Amino acid sequence: MGREERDVVARGARLAEAARNVAGDHGRAVEAVRAALAPIHDAAVRRELDAIPVARLQDVTEGRLRLGGVEQSGLRTVGAVLDAGAYRLLQIPGVGRRTVDQMLAAARRLSEAVHETVAVHIDVDRPEPGTTALVVALQVLVEAGPEARRAVDRAGALSQRLEPLLADARPVAGRFRMLLAGPERKARALSAVAELRPLVDEADRGRVPELFAQASVDLLRGPSSDLAAWSDFELRSAEYYSLLAEISGAAPDAAAAEGFLPDEIAERVRAQRLHDAHRRVSLRGYQAFGARFALAQRKVILGDEMGLGKTIQAIAVLAHLAAEGQSHFMVVCPASVLVNWTREIEARSALRTMLLHGPDRRDAFADWKERGGVGVTTFDALRGFPAPDGGEIGLFVVDEAHAVKNPKAKRSQAVARWAERCERALFMTGTPMENRVAEFRSLVGMLDRGVAESLDDGDALAGSVAFRRAVAPVYLRRNQQDVLTELPSLQHTDEWEELSASDAEAYRDAVRAGNFMAMRRAAYLRPERSAKLERLREIVEEAGENGQKTVVFSNFKDVLRVVEEALADGAPVFGPLTGAVPAARRQQLVDDFAAAPGAAVLLAQIQAAGVGLNMQAASVVVICEPQIKPTVEHQAVARAHRMGQVRPVRVHRLPATGGVDERLVEMLARKTRLFDAYARRSEVAEATPDAIDVSDTELARRIVEAEQVRLGTTDGAHVERPDGDRLRRTDGSVTVKP
């Protein structure tokens, strides 16, 4: 037995020690988080229990308890019952041992449920010693990053293989040990050395010792100052909360996180491996499942609600395929988010990006074809590029895929050609398919013709479970409330305003003219006496006094111009961000707004800003007028209330009483109830006959005619379409003017 064998054992021992060290360093960092979290979590549990009325114990015991005497004794909450204990409860007149036992058992079950489900919210505006300690402890792990986690995982896997081999190879470490070992022990030692040699050689070639050493350095570097930790938390709160959920075990409901997929598909997805070598961001559990779903099913629609990180999931899929040797990828998206896509890919992965847009797009496309990477282009530009031959594209990503639901549109046809010729495709949309099953079927048909052909209106009519089962092979959707337990609160307020005399006069003129869109913005046409504008100023000023940023949405450019002039003397105003603003400029406006110190205002046309742009710097949202479709408002609000938001978001909608706004709010409430009852669960919108939206034109006609009757101005000769084309009334009917 020579020096070479002893050297192999020594190298293996050093590698095993480094693996143990990095695992220990990581374990201590995790324990520091748990220690800081425990008192905060216990206090949150206590608050929840103190808020649950004692009557809830009836629900747990199916009404068997008599609790009148307990409440009369002053024990009005579940927390108070637990504090009282058996002895105090037995002193209450009419309460016997059996009742006490049942009551305490029910209270403990509720306590256990609260303990498992309560979410810890970190208030960035009111830091306390406890939350500061938690943020500082988390920062160590966030700063160490995904590389440290990879090192720990690698260390665990290596240790499992190294430790038994080193134990068997121990006699080789010394000549006398080997001489004293029996034949069987010697044979086992030589066999262990033979297995150790390739292990340590492979680790050296992969620079694993350096990986372990760097991870240990990062984990032992120690926390920075409290101020630096809080600043970092504001910038990367999603990563902090992701780690917190992982360490605390407060993961979302597994079925919800997996989109309620059938068991056979969910099992296949869970078994899918996910490489992370080219990825620079940690994934939440539901995000890793989404990436695996796309890989396992090959051609899918990811329909996660906005704010859940669909882009990160797509990048995880790209990084995995790049690790497997794929070299060419294509992302097609609206022009407004081109810059955001290139930034995200460069920040979250090691992949090369190529912007295929603008006058030089053909040259850029040729360069991408030659060198590879992730090409990022628009729907319109895609039409000018030749569709690929089979197998050359690793993944075809379509963002805001609802934009290609019309099969007759040229952009839809171009996307369909590319999807057909790519082995893998990932369509993404946070917009539920809210009109008809036929439109959803059109998207599905680009990915899996068999599923599309098997899908009919009957599946939707049968309810959400039947529909989910029908589309499960190609469709995955999760909702914020199911998987983002740490998301700050969202408060909606309708700020009803009485029209001023000047507003009312402008509104009556618009009704008389039958101009639906003028009716909707009449409250801003005479800004010097606008009641809505005055309230908007007050909201923005209050936010500014609290150092909060505000985003103001309107459907109308001229309303945004009025608002801009009205706010000129206050906090910095950015925008307006409209459909006419180039994509790169839109992103720059949002970046400048986010970077502005203290209070600031961003003005945005609601349709233009509802796609792709992240506005979580804003914690106050103002919607100048009710929108025709509930999803338009939901999407706009979700740009601020999304993963990464660290403050509660307040939404102020400014409707006026007695006119078009009141009628729209009533219709929106009805649509939203239907939408929540059906679409959020079934992933397509109202498919039952009484739930399908009337067209915008029909809605406008009804409202205008009703208002003309109410105000006695029925001499109008036309009704304005919502998109600006005028409708002309002839013999009591309504026709589109040529």
Q: Do the first three CATH levels of 253-483 and 490-658 match, i.e. the same topology?
A: yes
**349 within 8 A of 407, measured Cβ to Cβ:** no
253-483 has which CATH code? 3.40.50.10810
**Quick check: 459 pLDDT over 90?**
no
Q: Report whether pLDDT(176) > 60.
A: no
CA dihedral 365, 366, 367, 371 (to 10 degrees): 100
Task: Name the most confidently modeled range: 305-309, 446-450, 543-547.
Answer: 446-450
pLDDT higher than threshold 70 for residue 107? yes
CA 655 – CA 588 distance, rounded (Å):
31
Q: Give the pLDDT of residue 723.
A: 47
pLDDT computed for residue 668 by the predictor: 67
Q: Which of 51-55, 73-77, 333-337, 732-736 is the least confident region? A: 732-736
Least Cα distance to 625 among 524, 721, 509 occurs for 524
Is pLDDT at 94 greater than 90 in this prediction?
no
**Is the pLDDT assigned to residue 674 strictly greater than 60?**
no
| % of the chain with per-residue pLDDT over 70 | 86
- pLDDT given at position 678: 39
* pLDDT 10s digits, 265-280: 999 999 999 998 899 8
Q: Pick the more confident residue, 313 or 585.
A: 313
CATH superfamily of 44-117: 5' to 3' exonuclease, C-terminal subdomain (1.10.150.20)
Looking at residue 464, what is its pLDDT?
56
> What is the C-alpha radius of gyration for the chain, rounded to an integer number of angstroms?
31
Of 79 and 643, more confident: 79
Using CA atoms of 507, 513, 515, 518 in order, give the dihedral in degrees to the nearest 10: -30
Pick 464 or 401 by higher pLDDT. 401
Q: Check pLDDT > 90 for residue 316.
A: yes
Task: List the domain boundaries for the chain.
Answer: 3-37+125-232, 44-117, 253-483, 490-658, 698-736
**Which region holds residue 612: left if phi is over 0, alpha if psi is between -120 and 50, else beta?**
left
pLDDT > 90 in the chain, percent: 41
The predicted structure's pLDDT at residue 676: 47
Quick one: average pLDDT of 499-519? 91
Residue 728: band (very low, low, confident or very high) from pLDDT cuts 50, 70, 90: very low
pLDDT band at 433 (very low <50, low <70, confident <90, very high): low
* pLDDT, position 681: 40
pLDDT of residue 360 exceeding 60, the answer is: yes
pLDDT at 411: 95
Quick check: bond before 576 cis, omega within 30?
A: yes
- Mark 516-530 as b/e (b = at least 16 C-beta within 10 Å): bbbbbbbbbbbbeeb
pTM above 0.85, yes or no: no
Residue 461 pLDDT: 43
CATH homologous superfamily of domain 490-658?
A: P-loop containing nucleotide triphosphate hydrolases (3.40.50.300)
Of 244-248, 410-414, 504-508, least confident by mean pLDDT is 244-248
Query: Where do the H-state alpha helices sit in 383-524?
Result: 410-421, 437-447, 449-454, 457-461, 464-471, 480-483, 501-512, 516-521
Count of other CB atoms within 10 angstroms of residue 594? 16
Q: Give the model confidence (pLDDT) of 689-699 as tens digits.
A: 233 344 567 77
pLDDT tens, 191-246?
A: 988 999 999 999 999 899 999 999 999 998 877 788 888 888 877 887 888 888 88
More confident residue, 69 or 193: 193
Helix (H, G, I), strand (E, B) or coil at 551: strand
pLDDT at 175 over 80: no
Residue that wins the pLDDT comparison between 575 and 559? 559
The predicted structure's pLDDT at residue 245: 83
What residue type is assigned to position 363 of the chain? D
Q: Residue 54: its pLDDT value, please?
A: 82
Position 323 confidence tier, pLDDT thresholds 50, 70, 90: very high
For the chain, what is the mean pLDDT? 83
**Section 52-64 average pLDDT:** 71
Which residue would you say has higher pLDDT here, 16 or 692? 16
In three-state secondary structure terms, 258 is coil
Cα(65)–Cα(106) distance, integer angstroms: 10
CB of 110 closer than 8 Å to CB of 135 = no
Instruction: Please give the pLDDT value at position 481.
Output: 73
What's the 3-state SS for 20-80? Answer: HHHHHHHHHHHHHHHHHHHHHHHHHHHHHHHHCECCHHHHHCCCCCCCHHHHHCCCCEHHH
Average pLDDT over residues 138-158: 90
Choose the weakest-confidence range: 27-36, 102-111, 344-353, 429-438: 429-438
CA distance 322 to 318: 6
Which residue did the predictor score with more confidence, 674 or 667?
Answer: 667
